[in-house]
Copies of this chain bind each other. A is one copy, B any other.
Amino acid sequence: MTADVVPLPRRRPTLDPMLALTAHGMNAVNAVILERMQSDIPLIPRLAGHLISGGGKRLRPMLTLAGAELVGYQGARHHKLAAAVEFIHTATLLHDDVVDGSELRRGKAAANIIFGNPATVLVGDFLFSRAFELMTEDGSLKVLKILSGASAIIAEGEVSQLTAQRQIETSEERYLQIIGAKTAALFAAASRIGAVVAECGEREEQALDDYGRNLGVAFQLVDDAIDYDSDAAEMGKDQGDDFREGKMTLPVIFAYARGTPEERKFWQAAIAGHRTSDDDLAEAIALIGKYDAVEATRDRARHFAARAVDAISIFPDGKARAAMAEAAHFAVARGY
């Protein structure tokens, strides 16, 4: 890390205002989640519970609640819908772990390691179906359209990422497209739904969609930066996973673009899967440090976080807007 980074806000941004804003609603959401992950087949709640009770932040349902709060929604419809959002996210994580052959998730053994790939795939399918049951019970075709569309885009993004895996020539543009689909689409949909239940109009919906989408990109960028950050304090997944899986994330794209011919040869071999030892990872982290690629990635994230904050400037200032703005700053400051 260099000395001339863009200064952080004086007070370290946290997720606390967001947590406080949504605490009451999240109790209701968590009750729905617990109730609706049940099944007569005991393996289903056991496997789903491993991940769902596994210390995730539940950021996406929180976005739905915060969005509803921001537009002054007074009802309770969004509790079921926020639970549906979390189920879609959980299903995606379960399938991701199978796809990546992950060993750790949020610092614990991944579900596929404990329960095997078959059960993990199928319980993902179950949660995905449950998500659509919850939405159908709510009865809004508009919400169903938003979330079924987002789900298709997420799957496309995941396939796209798979196609880009081990492809050293992946550009920043392509990478941004991928994370826009695999991560930001659900952030956008989750946020938008807060305005949809309040029936407050397309302009407000779009503003919340923009907020969520930019926040999602910022979050993913920082997640990808942390995977190579030698100073990272917070590590949910095994550091170096992206490296060993040959995933082209922005820190690698920067280090490759800025590297010497010799260094590029290293990256080509590494991304192709021929450099996967701990020494190779140390070399990768050193090269990424040499070119400030983690900080450059955070800079990009800062840009998207700023866009997220500006997107909700159409709403009156207040507790909800402040909490959502700070969540965006928090997204970028994570792992420092």
A interface, CB within 8 angstroms of B? 39-41, 43-44, 91-92, 95, 98-100, 117-119, 121-123, 125-126, 128-130, 132-133, 135-137, 139, 141, 144-145, 148-149, 151-152, 154-156, 158-160, 162-163
Contact = CB atoms under 8 A, between A and B. Distances in A.
Contact of A148 (B92, B119, B132): B132
A40 to B, nearest CB: 7
B162 A118 contact: yes
A136 B159 contact: no
B128 A163 contact: no
Contacts of A141: 136, 139, 141
A145 B144 CA distance: 12
B122 A99 contact: yes
A141 B134 CA distance: 12
Contact of A122 (B119, B125, B137, B155): B155
Contacts of A135: 144, 148
A121 B98 contact: yes
A139 B139 CA distance: 10
B125 A95 contact: yes
Nearest to A101: B118
A310 to B, nearest CB: 29
Contacts of A43: 159, 162-163
A125 B126 contact: no
A133 B152 contact: yes
A125 B162 contact: no
